[in-house]
Every structure is written in C-alpha cells, then in structure tokens.
Structure 1
C-alpha cells in the first residue's frame, strides 16, 4: 500500500524526444519575448512585466503541448478575456485585495468552464489583474487592451512557429473510422470517439485530451499489438 502511494508521486515518463524539447523551448522564448516587447512598446515596461507570468505559462502550453485541449486558440483568447473581465468586475465591487483576487480566480474558472475555454494561465492572470501594480491599476478597464493584445500575439506566434516547425496547430478534429480495442468479434461493436467522449464525461474530471486523440491512440496501439502477435506466431512456428 505504501509503495503504491509513493509510486503515484513519482514523475511519469515523457514520450517526446529531446529535439522536441528544444523546438518547444525556442518557441516559448521567442513567443514570450515578442509578446512582452510589443506590450512594453504600447503600454510601458511595467505593464508588460506584470503580465509576463501568465504569458510564460501560456507559452509552455501552446508550444510544448499544442495538441492539448487547454492550448487551443479559443482557450487562450477566451480564457484571458474571461479572467480580465471577471477580475475587473470584482475590483469594481470589492476593491483590490487578496480576498478579491482569490475570488476572481475561482469565478474565472467557472466562467471558462461554461464557455469551454479553460486555460490554466488565465487563473494567474485573474490574480494579477486584481493585485495590479500601480501602472496597470491606472489603466482601469483599459487593462483589457494589453491583456488581449498579449493573448492574440502569443496565439499568432504559436500558429506561425508550430506550423513552420511541422507541428500542426491548432488541433484539427478528424472524423476517424471506428476503432476496435480488442480483436473484433462479429456482432460486437468497436470503440468510437463518441464512446470515449461518454466515458470521459462519466469520469467527471478535467482531462486535457480529445476523444479523437484517444481513438487514434487506441488504433495505433492495435496496430503494434497486431504486429507483435504476428511476430510471436512466426517465432513459435519457424
């Protein structure tokens, strides 16, 4: 029991090559640098520095895990917009204090879930908009301008860089044919993306993967399983 609990604390194995780490790292650096530079030119360095934390976190998602549901265009644009609007409403009614900031982050999460634009860095953005530095606080509702400019800029850099480095972005939902997890038995239905979607909903948890990705993973696993089975048959019958 104790060993099982400890094993859950250990990091999971990564399935990406070091070359992909380098590709993503360059994208994160370039995306963050460009966004902060543009923001500083238009709104001043203090405002740009104030927003650099959420931008860096967004860059990790958009360049390192561009196929994730939380890294898609609507997630970053909608997430930043929700966080900024909710935070400014909280500031209007409750002022700028730690309690208000925490309330803004929680409410922003609910709105993002309702609008299907969950983006974790937007939670940090909600905190920062409430607990703004003097330069950002003076902008008032005008803080929406640098926030949305930064979100759109990061998205444009991700669109350009990911596709130029042969990583398809944004994620395109493909209608894949039904996949079968186990050897097909006549009269028995295979697993489809719709089945996986229902299973994910039943789990009642945030899962950063699409049913189509899961279906593709199942199909690829079946392919390798069939190849392994064929090799085992030939090995047993030389």
Structure 2
C-alpha cells in the first residue's frame, strides 16, 4: 500500500520525443518575447514585465501541450478576459490586498468554468491584476487593454508557429463520429466521440484532453491490437 502511494509521487513517463521538446521550447521563448515586446511598445516595459509570468505559463500550454483543452483559443482569450474583469471588479469593491487577490482568483476560476474557458495561467493573472505594480495599478480598468493585447498576440504566435512546425492548432472540434470500437457482443453499440464526452462528464473531474484525442487513442490502440493479434496467429502456426 505504501509503495503504491509512493509510486504516485514519481514522475510519469513522457511520450514525446526530444525534437518535440526543442520545437516547443523555441516556440515558448519566441512567443513570450513577442508578446512582452509588443505590449511594451504600447503600454511600457513595466506593465509588460508585470504580465510576463502568466504569459510564460500560457506559452508552455499553447506550444508544448497545444492539443489540451486548456490550451485552445477560447481558453486563453476567455480566461484572460474573465480573470481581468473579475479582478478589477474585486479591486473596485475591496481594494488591493492579499484577501482581495485570493477572492479574485477563486471567483475567476468559477466564472471560467461556467464559460468553459478554464486556463490555469489566468489564475496567476487574477492575482497580479489585484496586486499590481504602480504602473499597472494606474491604468485601472484600462488594464484590460494590455492583458487582451498580450493574450491575442500569444494566440496568434501559437497559431503561426505550431502550424508552420506541422503541429495542428487549434484542435478541431469534430462532429460526432461513427462507432470506433467494434462491438464484442452482438447488438452492442460501439463507442463514439459523443460517448467519450459523456463519460468524461460523469467522471466529475478536470481532464485536460478532448474527446477527439481519446478517439484517436482508441483508434491507434485498435490498430496495434490487430497487428499484435496477427503476429500471434502467425507465431502459433509457425
């Protein structure tokens, strides 16, 4: 029992190649640099540097795990918008202090969940908007402008870089697919992407994967299972 608990603390195996790490790392660096540079041109370097933490975290999602549900366009744009509006509202009523910052990040998460735009770096953004540096605090509600400019720049950078490096982004929302798993019992229905979506909803947990990715995994698993079965048949007949 204790060994099982300890094993859960160990790092999981990665399924990506070093070349993909390098591709993503270059994108993260270039995307963050571009966003901070453009933001600094319009709003000054102090404001741009104040946003660099959430932007760097967003860059890792958009360039390294771009297939995840938390890295899609509506997630970053909607997440940044929700976090900023909620935080500025909290500042208006409760001022700038640690309690307000903690309240803002909790409320921002709830609204992001309601609007289906959960984006973890937006949580850090909510804290930063409340506990702003003097240059950012002076902007007041005008803080929306540098935040949304940075979010759009990061999204555009991810769209261009990922697709130029042969990584499809954003993830396409596929129509409900036909059965993808052959039924083992006569009359039993196969699994579809819609079935996977309903199963994910019943798990009652945050899962950063789309039904389309799960469908692709099932298809690939079926393919390798068929190949293995063919090899076993030939091995038995040899």
Q: Unaligned stretches of 5+ in structure 2?
A: none
Q: How does 1:179-198 map to 2 (within 5 A)?
A: 179-180=180-181, 184-198=184-198
Q: How does 1:41-190 map to 2 (within 5 A)?
A: 41-175=41-175, 176-180=177-181, 184-190=184-190
Query: What TM-score, normalized to structure 1?
Result: 0.98
- Helix, strand or coil at the partner of 1:171: coil
Q: Unaligned stretches of 5+ in structure 1?
A: none
TM-superposed CA distance for 1:183, in Å, is: 5.9
For residues 198 and 208 of structure 2, the distance between their equivalents in structure 1, rounded to whole angstroms, comes to 15
For residues 168 and 5 of structure 2, the distance between their equivalents in structure 1, rounded to whole angstroms, comes to 37
Question: Which residue matches 2:204?
Answer: 204
Aligned length: 237
Query: What TM-score, normalized to structure 2?
Result: 0.98
Please, what is the CA RMSD of the aligned residues? 1.0
Question: Which residue matches 1:38?
Answer: 38
For residues 101 and 153 of structure 1, the distance between their equivalents in structure 2, rounded to whole angstroms, comes to 26
For residues 22 and 179 of structure 2, the distance between their equivalents in structure 1, rounded to whole angstroms, comes to 35
Stretch of structure 1 that moved more, 86-95 or 193-202: 193-202
